[in-house]
A = this chain, B = another copy of it.
């Protein structure tokens, strides 16, 4: 099994601020494994007893409502940590985590890393910065949900996925989502998301190759009001 000290992935998250000794210790207690697409990593209301360092793949953090809708609040991709908040607050998770592709993760038990959080100020400052960033993003989402139309939100979601998660060699978005996933990010009905995407296609803003989406006119998407 790989060692945390030598793992490149940690460069992308707060684990980089741990000392060599801390990393060696964590390396010895971590478990590294694969998660199949569609697997629920943890459920809403569950106590998450550690953090997942995402080495590959992508997952969604979402919340189910009584009527069966599933609002996606955040996506966690390769390089990021999953379950950071539950690490800090002793409360149970308010969100469900589900793998959107096959993932490769390392699980670090809470007991092992919580001490570092309390003793290594550089590490905790790093986690703090991360959390501050997440909070800013969450605030922006609230404002978007309140002030923008489904059409605008969907356009912005496409741009965000394009910019933050990248594209394949053929120009399609590297993160493959179902229409339902898009609806759940934007906070609308699946049919509405489908309709708007069809509209974008008609307007030449995007094109599709099967389920894959390619942004054809990013400036056009940005201009949507």
A142 partner, pick from B120, B125, B136, B141, beta carbons under 8 A: B141
* Chain B contacts for A128, CB-based, 8 A: 88, 117, 124, 127-128, 131
Q: Provide the bound-state CA to CA distance between A120 and B187, in Å.
A: 41
* Chain B contacts for A63, CB-based, 8 A: 139-140, 143
- Chain multiplicity (copies): 2
Q: Is A147 an interface residue (CB 8 A)?
A: yes
Q: Is A221 an interface residue (CB 8 A)?
A: no
Contact B118 A187 (CB under 8 A): no
What is the chain B residue whose CB lies nearest that of A62?
B143
Q: Provide the bound-state CA to CA distance between A119 and B121, in Å.
A: 6
Contact A91 B136 (CB under 8 A): yes
Q: Provide the bound-state CA to CA distance between A71 and B117, in Å.
A: 34
* Chain B contacts for A120, CB-based, 8 A: 121
Q: Is A224 an interface residue (CB 8 A)?
A: no
Question: Can you list 19 A-B pairs with a CB-CB distance of less than 8 A?
Answer: A61-B139, A63-B143, A71-B147, A85-B132, A85-B136, A88-B131, A89-B129, A89-B132, A89-B133, A91-B136, A118-B121, A118-B122, A128-B131, A134-B135, A138-B138, A142-B142, A142-B145, A142-B187, A145-B145
